[in-house]
Amino acid sequence: MTATFLGIPAPAGVGQLRGDRPFPAAARDALADSQLRRNLGHATGVIRTKRAAAVGELDDWEQLRLAGEAIKRATMARLDDHLVRLEAEVSARGGTVHWARDANEANAIVTGLVQATGATELVKVKSMATQEIGLNAALADAGIIAHETDLAELIIQLGDDVPSHILVPAIHRNRAEIRELFGRKMPGVDPSLTAEPRRLAMAARAHLRRTFLRARVAVSGANFAVADTGALVVVESEGNGRMCLTLPETLITVMGIEKVVPSWRDLEVFLQLLPRSSTGERMNPYTSIWTGVTPGDGPRSFHLVLLDNGRTAALGDAVGRDALHCIRCSACLNVCPVYERVGGHAYGSIYPGPIGAVLSPQLTGIHAGSDDNASLPYASSLCGACYDVCPVRIDIPSLLVRLRTAHVDAARARPLPTAEALTMAAAAWVMSSPTRFAAAETASRLGRLGGRASGRLSSLPPPLSAWTSSRDAPRPPEETFRQWWSRTRGNSA
Amino acid sequence: MVVPHPRQLGVSARDEVLARIRAANANAGLGLGGAVDGPRADGDVAIPRDYRGGGGPAPGSPPLLDLLRRRLIDYRASVVDAAPGDEPAAIRAALAAASVGPTPGSAERGGGAVLVPPGLPASWCPAGVVDDGFTAVELDGFAAVVTACAAACALTGTIALDGSPDQGRRAITLVPDVHVCVVRADQVVHGVPDLLARLDPTRPITLISGPSATSDIEFERVEGVHGPRTLTVILVAAPPAPA
Ligand code: SF4
């Protein structure tokens, strides 16, 4: 194993990449919330079925996944060249490109751009990158109000809540809870509003209409940016994205550097993989694609902010870098037995679930046992379902094992190990040897028999038991990770 | 234009991020001629593109039109069939079906009228008000918009607009509540690769698959949020020749 690459991680104290307590404690509380588990179980069940049907319609799905994986791997290998090309193309078509080393720098750039327009409010289309950097809070500090316009983001914003899913941030809320919230927080809402999703969506339409029509500035993220043409791509459903991208005079797009794809043709792969994997649709209702500024059509001023914020630290790890291939479809969350039970909030970061468990700790840096994100790579049963559904074939189980080792390496450097570091070191000692890992895994599979009644285990065999004694671990799968690995790869790791 | 961040003197954020990328790739054994653990992004050479590319049924062939019709209806768009030359009648019927009546005398600045882009054939919608750069609030006063399209994808039920004169700027197909879109048979291709190959990536493009929708409440799909709640596609094809 190579030594951990010491890149520059995302700074602490800004944005939403860390929770205020470690996963095990947050997960314990979430498990006690039966309403939350019902809401999650229902919603993830619906979307799993839809995704399977949409994917099943294509007989070239595996070829698309292989192409998606290869494009992402090739892009990362020459990420610098592609970003420089993107910058040149966007600039040539009337856009302005900014670079941000971290969340603070990105927030300062966006705040400055908004202040230069004189606007004191703006409309926002759902974007993980701006959640990650805590942009709304930074804008509020400067006296600028950011109106979230995605229905789920609106639910979160009105409820002073935190997103719990990449695609459907309010997945933890059911219709009755949303009806109650709208009645309480939406000015002028019809008192006869029912909890029917259609009526709730109409209430949101009426509520946001005036805001859209008067907005002078918008902030968006981007799903893809095409280096060879400078095209930015935003994929959405409701039309709030189109409103933000089209009506205001000034558009500011904040994008992680890993979102670039080399060529226009690459979109033919991702525009098939993404909608079928995320909402389970053949195609999402609206996809907007634009380059720079078009006279007479849309914003007169376009700014693109390219964000690092720990991404280059992840890029420096030969294994962990694959987490940067993620296209944020959320399919891995929807199939994850851990996510389904604890929900997104337990992960602390706005990137929850399997991808969050490998992405968040790499963005924030992998520190010794006391870091809240350090326990995330352990928030998995390594069952492999996430890898099977991932449209770009990110081998999340392998990344989790790699990060556990990296974490223990960090913990080893401490003169007086904490109890958690010691138990994690023991876990890593087991996992660093193929024989020991196999033995412990078989033992934990035997534990499945004991866990059958509740679907969860209260302990794992020693030395892993020291860790599970404070965690309600999900029941291990029928097939262990290693068994799955050798079955699907035909060799031993 | 490239703007270095003002706070940083010396090394710009741009140069630092690029340097970090190069160092990270070198550390991971990529770049700088080091060991490569995957294909390099040298053009397309290393990307396996064994998925279905172009090809399939010929553009505009009857099975393709049939597929498009079914996929549009599946996502709650309406479809009206028309023969070439019958566009005006089909547009009138589509507007009437969407409860947008002819409103004589109200054909200025909204008022429930029908909006059309400057390049739409004048005979298609004689009562239409030509877009001359209305404000967002003014656009909100129009009941419907009628446009042509750039291309359509049968497999996904997608129509593509690219801002050409017969489609207009993006805002006009967004704010009015009814969008009637005329699709010619020869514009209908099979899959996503065929669709993208037909589009000019430097134009402002909108891909539309059914009316706006949300799945944000319990993952239940609900049609009609901020974009037009009614989407009617007029499919213009020569009737099959008698056998
Ligand atoms: S890791 Fe894969 S499955 Fe999970 S959100 Fe990202 S792209 Fe989707």
CB contact under 8 Å between B209 and A242, yes or no, is: no
Provide the CA A301 distance to its chain's centre, in angstroms: 29
B49 in helix, strand or coil? Answer: coil
| A282 and A155 fall within a common domain | yes
pLDDT value at A491 more than 70: no
Kind plus residue range of the DSSP H or E element containing A235 = strand A231-236
Query: Which ipTM score applies to this complex?
Result: 0.90
pLDDT above 80 (res A176): yes
Most distant CA pair in chain A, distance: 68
* Residue B137 is assigned to a structural domain of this protein: yes
CATH code, domain with B223: 3.40.50.10420
Between A318 and A457, whose confidence is greater?
A318
Q: Does residue B173 lie in a domain region?
A: yes
| pLDDT tens profile B86-104 | 999 999 999 999 888 655 4
pLDDT average, residue stretch A281-295: 96
Q: Is A47 domain-assigned? A: no
The answer to whether A300 and A251 have CB atoms below 8 angstroms apart is: no
| CA-based nearest distance B19→chain A, Å | 8
CB A47 less than 6 A from any atom of ligand 1 = no
Query: B75 exposed, middle or buried (CB, 10 Å; 0-12, 13-18, 19+)?
Result: buried
Residue A339 within any structural domain of the chain: no
Among residues A277, A312, A347, the one where a domain terminates is A312
Q: What's the rounded mean pLDDT across residues A16-43?
A: 78
pLDDT digits (tens, 9 = 90+) for A419-458: 444 445 444 444 444 444 444 444 444 333 333 333 333 3
pTM for this prediction: 0.85
Q: Which residues contact A304 (CB under 8 A, 6 or more apart)?
A: A90, A95, A96, A97, A98, A225, A232, A253, A255
Question: Which one, of A307, A445, A420, A297, lies nearest residue A21 by Cα?
Answer: A420
| Boundaries of domain holding A449 | 419-489
Report pLDDT for A37: 83
From the CA of A218, how many Å to the nearest CA of chain B?
A: 14
Q: What is the pLDDT of residue A410?
A: 67
Position A190 scores a pLDDT of 86
Q: In terms of pLDDT, which residue wins out, A483 or B75? A: B75
- Residues B4-51: pLDDT tens digits? 444 445 789 999 999 999 999 988 876 543 333 444 444 344 789 999
Establish if B195 belongs to a structural domain. Answer: yes
Residue B89 within any structural domain of the chain: yes
Residue-range definition of the domain harbouring residue B95: 62-236
Q: Which of A50, A204, A229 sits opposite B202 (nearest CB)?
A: A229
Interface residue A79 vs chain B (CB under 8 A)? yes
The verdict on residue A24 lying in a domain is no
User: Residue A281 and residue A53: Cα distance in Å, rounded?
Assistant: 9
HSE value, Cβ hemisphere, 13 Å, CA-based, for B19: 8
Share of chain A above pLDDT 90, in %: 52
Q: Which ligand 1 atom is the nearest neighbour of the CA of A389?
A: 3
Residue A107: inside a domain, yes or no?
yes
Q: Is A160 on the interface with B (CB under 8 A)?
A: no
A334 occurs within a structural domain? no
Q: How many domains, chain B? A: 1
Domain end position, chosen among A255, A281, A312? A312
Q: What is the pLDDT of residues A387-425, one digit of tens each?
A: 999 999 999 999 998 888 777 776 666 444 444 444 454
Write the burial class of residue A455 (CB in 10 Å: 0-12 exposed, 13-18 middle, 19+ buried). exposed
Question: CA A123, CA A69: separation in Å to the nearest integer?
Answer: 34
From A260, A279, A312, give the residue that closes a domain: A312
Split at pLDDT 50, 70, 90, the class of A109 is very high
Average confidence (pLDDT) over A273-294: 96
User: Is the residue at B4 inside a domain?
Assistant: no
Q: Ligand 1 in contact with A326 (CB < 6 A)?
A: yes
Q: What is the pLDDT of residues A216-227, one digit of tens each?
A: 999 999 999 999
Would residue A46 count as lying in a domain?
no
Nearest chain B residue (CA) to A271 = B192
Distance A353 CA to ligand 1 centre (A): 10
**Residue B84 domain-assigned?**
yes
Q: Please give the pLDDT value at position A429.
A: 40
CA of A438 to the centre of ligand 1 (A): 27
* Residue A454 at interface with chain B, using a CB cutoff of 8 Å: no
In whole angstroms, what is the distance from residue A91 CA to residue A87 CA? Answer: 6
**Residue B165 placed within a domain:** yes
Chain A 264-293, CB below 8 Å of chain B: which residues? 264-265, 267-269, 271-272, 279, 281-291
- pLDDT score of A461: 37
> Does residue A466 lie in a domain region?
yes
What are the tens digits of pLDDT across the range A325-364? 999 999 999 999 888 888 888 888 889 899 999 999 889 8
Q: What is the C-alpha separation between A428 and A412, in angstroms, rounded?
A: 11
Q: What is the pLDDT of residues A182-202, one digit of tens each?
A: 999 888 888 889 999 889 988
The B residues from 9 to 68 touching A (CB cutoff 8 Å) are 12-14, 16-18, 20-25, 27-31, 36-42, 44, 46-53
Domains of chain A: total = 2
The mean per-residue pLDDT over the stretch A251-257 comes to: 98
User: What rounded mean pLDDT belongs to chain A?
Assistant: 82
pLDDT tens digits for B148-180?
Answer: 999 999 999 999 999 999 999 999 999 999 999
Assigned domain for A481 exists: yes
